Amino acid sequence: MELGQISLTRDGQTLLLHHGTVYRVNEFEPFERGVRADQTGSIAWGDGDWSGAEWRTGGDIRLKLGIHTSSWSDLMNAWWPLDAACAPVRTGPEVEIRWNAAGTEYLMYARPRGARLKNERGRTGKAWVEARFACPDPAIYSAEEHSVEMGMLHRIGGTSIPFTVPLTLYSIVDDGEADLVNAGPSPARLLLRIDGPATRPYITLATPTGAQVLFLDTVLGEGEWLDIDTATKSVVLNGSISRLRDAWGDWPLLTGSGLIRFQAETYEPDARLTVRWRDTY
């Protein structure tokens, strides 16, 4: 692939790997995927093999680069931050790998599998590095995160006036709806945050293929909130308490475009819904 700007972000620190720095990327392959089957093996009663449902395996990223400095000490000063970025993930978040290709910036979440420094020319300030990253999540995302915020569904207007010719003034949506677009071909997870007060809220995502409705059988007071991840199917109250048992219905995923709507058993003007997502490839 044509190599653009590549960066590794870990614990809030970003390391740039591109021309203009001491790092020169020679090989970067973020697209390797395998296939796994839930059930494999020979068919004892017939010809051929049996394979059940199949899925993508996690991603495997190969990164090869050169470090170009003018002295041994400068080489070491360039190696240590790269070595730290490639150290095993313990309890913190995964490393974000971002790269630019053809004007679009992409993102993957990775776990480093070590880096090797080949320093045969180290005394001249130059060396080669080989690193690998495993990506438990095989999806590639847009580096840009999209976000919309709305209140509960609220309509204005909608009065019929008895003129000689029947006339109806249709209501219009004042709040509570938003158009979402996922530019990638794979379903996108939605990260939802509901800020109370809200009584038994529910969220509808309408797409050309149908509607998905997620119901939350819970009551949020003022100052309380729910964080919902529609891919991992998690519902967390106030940042720490699982309320998964309160969720039923669909877990909306966005393919292409869709209209999202925020409603509840009773209308609350101060309730808010925040939706975040990334284009998913």
> For 182-228, how does the pLDDT look when each residue is reduced to its tens digit (9 = 90+)?
999 999 999 999 999 999 999 999 999 899 999 999 999 999 999 99
pLDDT value of position 43 = 72
Query: 260 with 212: CB under 8 angstroms?
Result: no
- Residue 154 and residue 248 in one domain: yes
The span from the CA of 213 to the CA of 119, in Å, is 57
Asked which of 97, 125, 142 is the last residue of a domain, the reply is 142
Q: What secondary structure letter does DSSP report for 115? A: E
- Residue 134 and residue 171 in one domain: no
- Residue 10 and residue 138 in one domain: yes
Domain assignment present for residue 131? The answer is yes
How many separate domains does the chain show?
Answer: 2
Average pLDDT over residues 58-77: 93
Q: Lowest mean pLDDT: which of 41-45, 99-103, 218-222? A: 41-45
pLDDT value of position 160 = 46
Q: What secondary structure letter does DSSP report for 206? A: E
CA distances in angstroms from 128 to 26, 50, 64, 156, listed in the order given: 10, 45, 7, 65
Domain assignment present for residue 1? The answer is no
- Residue 176 and residue 79 in one domain: no
- Residue 177 and residue 206 in one domain: yes
The span from the CA of 62 to the CA of 130, in Å, is 8
Asked which of 104, 123, 142 is the last residue of a domain, the reply is 142
Residue range(s) defining the domain that contains residue 112: 6-142
CATH number, position 75: 2.40.30.200
Q: What is the pTM of this model?
A: 0.82
CATH number, position 177: 2.60.120.860
- Residue 129 and residue 157 in one domain: no
Average pLDDT over residues 38-53: 73
**To 5 degrees, how large is the angle CA 84–CA 90–CA 94?**
75
- Residue 88 and residue 156 in one domain: no
pLDDT value of position 37 = 77
